[in-house]
């Protein structure tokens, strides 16, 4: 798929939002990519996951690993198309871990996938979890890299889209200075609100 075709999927799904957003990283941005607008459609996930699977198809992958929540859907689809198993990491007491009986072996060749990369912190957490098992990481695939090439990894990184989206620390955010209402999106903030945070 060409970049414009991938962009069109995100546009059709209504995944590009403009406003004043608090990102999971703690940074603020005038642009938010609502990945679940795309991930709710199996046909889009099949197409996008297929692009990642195709890119890494020569790597003899044994397991595809993604972080909860959005990474689960993508990891499942990429694994399905590669004909291998998937696993996912999730937080336990604030730390990314494997749960639910997921295990990797030293001889496993692992592809890590993520939906949207902003700072790369979540991917680095997954890398650490996989490295602790001594499995071999062959690469990292993502739907969107919005880091402006600031997120760098020790393994080959293949994002389907690279989007320049300005981010600001809360102290330097011009939208805060203009008193534009801050929106919290994503499961991280939803779960906090549900728990009264």
Per-domain residue ranges of the chain = 3-194
pLDDT tier for residue 12 given thresholds of 50, 70 and 90: very high
Predicted confidence at residue 186, as pLDDT, reads 60
Tens digits of per-residue pLDDT, 35-72? 999 999 999 999 999 999 999 999 999 999 999 888 99
Confidence check: pLDDT of 7 > 70? yes
Confidence check: pLDDT of 165 > 80? no
Among candidates 136, 121, 6, which has minimal Cα distance to 65?
A: 136
Confidence check: pLDDT of 89 > 70? yes
Domain 3-194, CATH: 3.40.50.2020
CA–centroid distance for 54 within its chain: 18
Predicted confidence at residue 148, as pLDDT, reads 81
Predicted confidence at residue 191, as pLDDT, reads 42
Q: What percent of the chain has pLDDT over 90?
A: 71
Tens digits of per-residue pLDDT, 176-193? 999 999 998 765 544 443
Tens digits of per-residue pLDDT, 121-160? 999 999 999 999 999 999 999 999 988 888 899 999 999 9
Pairwise CA distance, residues 189 & 197, whole Å: 9
Q: 21 and 172 in contact (C-beta within 8 Å)?
A: no
Q: What percent of the chain has pLDDT over 70?
A: 94
Predicted confidence at residue 146, as pLDDT, reads 86
Q: Label residue 31 exposed, middle or buried (CB < 10 Å: 0-12, 13-18, 19+).
A: middle
Pairwise CA distance, residues 104 & 173, whole Å: 42
Q: Mean pLDDT, the chain, as a whole number? A: 89
């Amino acid at each position: 798929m060409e970049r414009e075709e991938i962009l069109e999927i995100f546009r059709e799904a209504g995944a590009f939002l403009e406003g004043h957003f608090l990102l999971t990283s703690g940074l603020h941005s005038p642009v938010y990519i609502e990945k679940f607008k795309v991930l709710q459609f199996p046909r889009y996930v099949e197409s996008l996951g297929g692009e990642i699977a195709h890119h890494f198809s020569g790597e003899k992958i044994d397991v595809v690993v993604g972080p909860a929540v959005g990474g689960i859907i993508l990891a499942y689809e990429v694994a399905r198309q590669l004909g291998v198993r998937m696993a996912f990491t999730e937080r336990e007491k604030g730390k990314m871990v494997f749960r639910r009986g997921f295990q990797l072996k030293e001889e496993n060749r692992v592809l890590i996938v993520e939906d949207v990369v902003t700072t790369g912190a979540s991917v680095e957490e997954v890398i650490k979890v996989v490295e602790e098992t001594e499995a071999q990481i062959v690469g990292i695939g993502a739907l969107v890299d919005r880091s402006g090439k600031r997120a760098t990894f020790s393994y080959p990184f293949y994002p389907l889209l690279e989007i320049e989206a300005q981010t600001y620390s809360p102290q330097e955010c011009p939208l805060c200075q203009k008193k534009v209402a801050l929106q919290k999106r994503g499961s991280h903030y939803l779960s906090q609100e549900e728990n009264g945070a």
